[in-house]
Structure 1
Amino acid sequence: MHSLLVIYNGTTKTEPIEDSLKCKLPEFILRSSGYLVDVAYTADQAASRIKEADASILHVPVSEIKTWGALLMKEKTAPVIWWCNDETANLSLAACGDHIMVDGILGPSMLPREIHWSLHFSAKQCFERQQWLKEREQLLSRIEERKWIDMAKGILSKVKNISESEAYDLLRKQAMNERKRMVDVATSIVKVYQLLQDQTQGGTTL
């Protein structure tokens, strides 16, 4: 990890300051530690510049991390790290109970080797978090598919007066014959059945 993007918001945006105070800025500290650092002050700048960075350093209150993280992840999967100093910590007091997803924390008192290891573990955390989110999405998708298949089995079992096991075999055979996924066939069966039920209840003659 060599290239970092430091992001400010309207509250933490730095005005022109004396050279003696610049050493406390995250970009100065990170550059002094051997990293290439770019800075963004707006959402458009951040969305554009994150594409060239290995990680984002958010110099914002905790309450804004979720919004910034979502914006950045749309452009690139990269670690989202919070810069915690007196300013951002004070601005974040009201958000202490919020559930915030960050991959790591950096601060102005950290030495170069501490920054290095924090960024290293942040990269691992980012990968593991993305992997977990992907697995969660796949699990939810399988649960949704199972719901449609179970509903279709129940309908076929009722309409054709067969067991659910036989209904499942019928679904599978139809999917093979039509070269479709079972869930697609099941979804079609359920929707057609629901449409017929609505029409029947509405007194419509087919």
Structure 2
Amino acid sequence: MRSLLIIRMEKNIYDPDQIASGMIYPELLLGNNGYQVLVADGDDSSTAVLKMLSEADAAILDLPIEDIPDWEKLLCQARPIPMLWWCSPDTASESVEACETEIAIDGILTPTMRDRELHWALHFAARQCIERQQWISERKQLQSRLEERKWIDMAKGILADMKQISEAEAYDILRKKAMNERKRMVDVATAIVKAHQLLQS
């Protein structure tokens, strides 16, 4: 992971007094530790941000917590990428309740981190992102299976009621019909349920 995209709401103009007083900007810290840094700020359109995103290995969100969900949604729609929150005095000024928001953050970076800490935080964020994507994929598959099961159970109930047979026998009828028509069972079940609903109305 070498190329990082920093996203913030407003254009950052380096204040020499703030730097002298110890204020650390993420692009300076990361750039000084060998990372290639791109910066998207409030002046950039979402199209420009997405173009920069295509060149980045991870996104660093230099934002207050309440602004993260909108960016998270945009980034997740574009492509799976590790997202880390830049936790600084400016971005962490919200109340504890803001931390309860469900956001897909894979890691946290702070201004006090040293080179090895930055490396490991980014490494673990990349692993966390992969695990998050696998979880999302498994969740979608499970939801799809549950939806299919719902249609099959409704069709079984309709067949069992109409033919005065057990649900096990209705399931066999569905299975055989699907095999004969070379269709998925859920497609046959959906057709039966929709036809029944049409006849009922």
TM over 0.5: yes
Bigger mean CA offset, 66-75 vs 113-122: 66-75
Partner of 1:109: 112
Would the alpha carbon gap of residues 28 and 183 (structure 1) be closer, same or farther in structure 2, given more than 3 Å must change?
same
* Residue identity in the other structure for 2:78: E
Q: C-alpha distance in 2, partners of 1:44/1:18? A: 31
Q: Residues of 1 paired with 2:137 and 2:100: CA distance? A: 26
Match of 2:67 in 1: 64
Report the secondary structure of 1:87's partner residue.
Answer: coil
Q: Does 1:14 align with 2:12?
A: yes
SS of the aligned residue for 1:86 comes to coil
- Distance in 1 of aligned mates of 2:147 and 2:167: 19
Within the alignment, does 1:136 sit opposite 2:126 as a pair?
no
Q: CA offsets, 1:157-203, max 9 Å, x none?
A: 111122111111110111111111100110010011011011xxxxx
Judged with a 3 Å threshold, the aligned counterparts in structure 2 of structure 1 residues 193 and 116 are, in CA distance, closer, same or farther, namely same
- The corresponding residue for 1:161 is 164
- 1:107 is aligned with what amino acid? T
TM-score normalised according to structure 1 size:
0.89
Listed as ranges, the gaps of 5+ residues in structure 1 are 199-206
- Quick one: which amino acid aligns to residue 78 of structure 1? I
Q: How does 1:186-197 map to 2 (within 5 A)?
A: 186-197=189-200
Alignment of 1:176-187 (within 5 A): 176-187=179-190
Whole-Å separation in 2 of the counterparts to 1:82 and 1:32: 19
> Is 2:124 aligned against 1:125?
no
Work out whether residues 5 and 60 of structure 2, in 8 Å CA contact, stay in contact via their aligned partners in 1.
yes
The answer on whether the counterparts of 1:171 and 1:182 sit within 8 Å (CA) in structure 2 is: yes
Counterpart-to-counterpart distance in 2, 1:146 and 1:47: 38
**Per-residue deviation, residues 92-140 of structure 1 (Å, max 9, x unmatched):** 6551332222000001110011000000000000000110111111111
Distance 1:93 1:37 in 2: 30
CA–CA distance in 1 between the matches of 2:161 and 2:97? 56
* Change beyond 3 A, Cα 1:133–1:150: same
For 2:25 and 2:158, locate their aligned partners in 1 and report how far apart those are by CA, in whole Å: 65
**1:65/1:100 contact within 8 Å kept:** yes
2:177 corresponds to:
174
Q: Give, in whole Å, the separation in 1 of the partners of 2:62 and 2:19.
A: 16
CA distance in 2 between counterparts of 1:101 and 1:75 reads: 14
In structure 2, the residue matched to 1:81 is 84
Structure 2 equivalent of residue 96 of structure 1: 99
Q: 1:94 to 1:147 in 2, by over 3 A?
A: closer
TM-score for the superposition, normalised by structure 2 = 0.92
Amino acid at match of 1:55: A
Q: How many correspondences in the alignment?
A: 196
The letter for the 1-side match of 2:69 is K
Amino acid corresponding to residue 4 of structure 1 in structure 2: L
* 4+ long deviations beyond 6 Å: none
In the alignment, structure 1 residue 152 sits paired with structure 2 residue 150: no
Contact 2:88-2:110 within 8 A present in 1 as well: yes
